Amino acid sequence: MIRRLRKLFGVLYGYLAVIFLIASLGTIPHLLQMLREPHYPQAYMSPLFAAWGTVLIVLSRLVLAIPAVMAVLFTMAWWTIRTGNPSARRWALASSIAFLSLNVPIYFVTFYLVAHHTNGIPQSLYILNGAIVAVGIAGLVAFWRRDATSQPVATPRARIAGDGTSSTLDTLAGLLAGAGVLAGMFLYQRWGRAHGLYRPHGYAYWIDILFIAFITTSIHELGHALVGLSVGMKLRSFVLGPFHWFIRDGRWNFQFHPAGIISAEGVTGVVPTDPDQSRWSLISMIAAGPLANLLTGLVALAAALAAPGRPYAPAWESLFFFATVSLITFASNLLPIRGERLYSDGARIYQVLKGGPWADLYRSVAIAGATSVTALRPRDYDIEAIHRASVLFKHGLQAVLLRLLASDHYIDLGDFSQARDALADAELVYPDSAAEIPAGLHSIFVYNNAVLRRDAAGTRLWWDRLESKKPTHLGVDYWLARSALLWMEGSRSEALEALAKANDMAQSKPLAGVYEFDRDRVTLLGKAMEEA
C-alpha cells in the first residue's frame, strides 16, 4: 500500500512541478520588474513606518518567488523518486512540508471566512483547501520512513538493443515538451493581454487544464481506435486516465482506477482479425493518434486566433491551451522515445518499419490478443516469429510472455515435448522478471507443470508464487491451476470440484479461439487425472 502511495506521489509531484512552473510565468516577470525598480521608504517616514514598509516590500518579493521555489522542489522530488536517488526521501519531505506551509494558513483563513462571512464565499473553496492540505499530509506519511525510497518506485527497465530510442533523446524530448507548453502559454497570455482578453486565474483554471489534458488524450486514443476499426481490426481494451474498459471472459468490463485521475495516459488495444494483415494497416493505426491531435490542435488554434469579438471569446484561453497541448502531443509522440511504461507512437512506427525482433514481438502479441475476439487459437500463432523475437527478449514481461505463448502453441498442437521445452525457457527468464509478471501468467506455470511434467513440487512452487501476487480475478485459468495443484497433492475430490468450476466458466464463454482453447485445457486436465 505504501509503495503504491509513493508511486502515486511520484506522479503527483511531477504534475505539481508543472503547475508551479506555469504559475511562475506570471510572477517572475513582476518580481524582476520590482528588482529593477526598487522602492525605498520615503525620507519623511518615521523609522517605525520605514521598517514596516521595508518588511512589506521584502514579503511581496518573497511571495512572487514562491511559485518558482515550489517548482524547483517538486521537480527535484519527482526526478529523484523516478530514478531511485538516495536523496528522494529528503526532497519528497521538503516538498510536502513546503506545500503544507503554503496551504495550511490559506485553509484556516478560508475556514474563518466561510464561518463568519458566508455571503459570497463558496463553501466548496473550504473543502478544496482541506483536500489540498490532506494531500500534503499524505505525502509526509508516504515518505516518513527512512527506507521509503531505498529502491526506485518503478525499477528502470533495461533498454533493449534496436528499439530506436536513447536515454538522451528521452530526456531531451521531455524537456522540449515541457518547454514547448510553457512557451506556448507565455505567448498566448501575452496575446490575450494585447487583445484585452486577459483574465485572472483561480482554482477553476487548474481544473480546466486537467480537463483539457484529458480531452487531448481522448482524441488521441479515439484516433487510434477509429482507424484501427476502419482497417479491419477489433477493439479489446480502451484506457483513458482512471477509466479502464477491457474484454475479459468474453464480456466488456469497466474499472475505475483513482490513481489515473492525475494521469493523462491512455492506451488503445486493437488487434488484427487477419494474422497476415499488412504492416501498413498497423502503421496507419499507430499514426492516427498523433494526426488526430495535429488536426484538432490546428482547428483550436484557428478558433482561438479568431476569438476576439466572437460569442465564444470567454473561452479563448482554453482554446489556446488545448491547441498548445495538442500540437506538443503530436510532435512529441512522433519522436522515438520510451516512456516509463510504453513506447511513443514514433518509436513503434520505427520498430515496425525496421522489422526484425521488434516487428515479430508486435505480431506475436497482436495475434495472441486476437484470440479473444476472433476464431484464431494458440495453434495459429506464428511460432517462427515468436522464436525470432525470443532471441532478443531475454528478460522482462515480454520475454516470459513470448515463451508461454510458445508453450500454449505446442499444447494446442499436441506436441507436449516442445511445450515442455518452451515452459523450461520461460522458467529460466522468470527470476529476472518476477516483479513484472501478473498473477494471471503464474496460473499458466501451475497448470503446465502439472499437465506437462506431473511435477508436484514445481506445481506447488508456482502456486505459492501465484498466491503471493494476490490474484483478484478468479477465472478459468485460476480454477484450472487450483485443480492441477490439488490433483498433484493427492486431493482428488477437491481437484474435481475445482475442475468442475473451471469447466462451468469455460462453457459459458463465447465462441472465440482462446475460450475454445480453455475448454480443451479443461478436457486435457480431466484426461490426465483419469490416466493417473
Please state the rounded mean pLDDT for residues 195-223.
Answer: 79
* pLDDT the model gives residue 44: 47
Angle value at C-alpha 359, between 357 and 361, nearest 5 degrees: 65
For cell 490426465, name the residue.
Answer: 528
* pLDDT the model gives residue 211: 84
Q: For residues 268 and 205, which has the higher predicted lDDT (pLDDT)?
A: 268
Q: What mean pLDDT is reported for the chain? A: 80
The Cα 11–Cα 257 span in angstroms is 14
Alpha carbon separation from 126 to 105, 113, 366 (Å, rounded):
12, 9, 50
- Residue 319 C-alpha cell reads as 482554446
Per-residue confidence at 226, pLDDT binned at 50, 70, 90?
very high
Per-residue confidence at 311, pLDDT binned at 50, 70, 90?
confident
Nearest residue to 114 via CA among 128, 97, 95, 101: 128
Residue 244 pLDDT greater than 60, yes or no: yes
The answer to whether the CB of 64 falls within 8 A of the CB of 31 is yes
Distance of CA 490 to the CA centre of its chain: 43
Buried b (16+ CB within 10 A) or exposed e, 408-422: bbbbbeeebebbbbb
For 452, how many CA atoms within 13 A lie in the half-sphere containing its CB? 25
| Lowest-confidence region among 258-272, 303-317, 337-351 | 258-272
The Cα 82–Cα 327 span in angstroms is 26
Nearest residue to 363 via CA among 274, 268, 251: 274
* pLDDT the model gives residue 153: 47
Angle between helix 513-531 and 476-488 (nearest 10): 10
* pLDDT the model gives residue 185: 81
Question: How many Å is the Cα radius of gyration of the chain?
Answer: 28
Q: What is the DSSP string of 119-145?
A: TT--HHHHHHHHHHHHHHHHHHHHH-S
The secondary element (H helix, E strand) that includes residue 5 is helix 2-36
- Residue 107 C-alpha cell reads as 485553509
Residue 15 pLDDT greater than 90, yes or no: no
Please state the rounded mean pLDDT for residues 363-388.
Answer: 89
Nearest residue to 509 via CA among 251, 142, 151, 200: 251
Please state the rounded mean pLDDT for residues 131-138.
Answer: 73
The secondary element (H helix, E strand) that includes residue 115 is helix 88-116
The Cα 235–Cα 252 span in angstroms is 10
The Cα 333–Cα 216 span in angstroms is 13
| Lowest-confidence region among 45-54, 301-310, 345-354 | 45-54
The Cα 409–Cα 473 span in angstroms is 24
Per-residue confidence at 149, pLDDT binned at 50, 70, 90?
very low
Highest mean pLDDT (candidates 76-85, 104-113, 270-279): 270-279
| Domain ranges for the chain | 2-143, 167-350, 393-531
**Dihedral of CA 428/386/267/180: which sign?**
positive
* pLDDT the model gives residue 262: 61
Burial of residue 260 (number of CB atoms within 10 Å: 0-12, 13-18, 19+): buried
Q: What's the CATH code, domain 393-531? A: 1.25.40
- Residue 87 C-alpha cell reads as 536523496
Query: What percentage of the chain exceeds 90 in pLDDT?
Result: 25
Q: Which residues are 240's β-sheet partners?
A: 243, 266
| Lowest-confidence region among 15-19, 228-232, 524-528 | 15-19
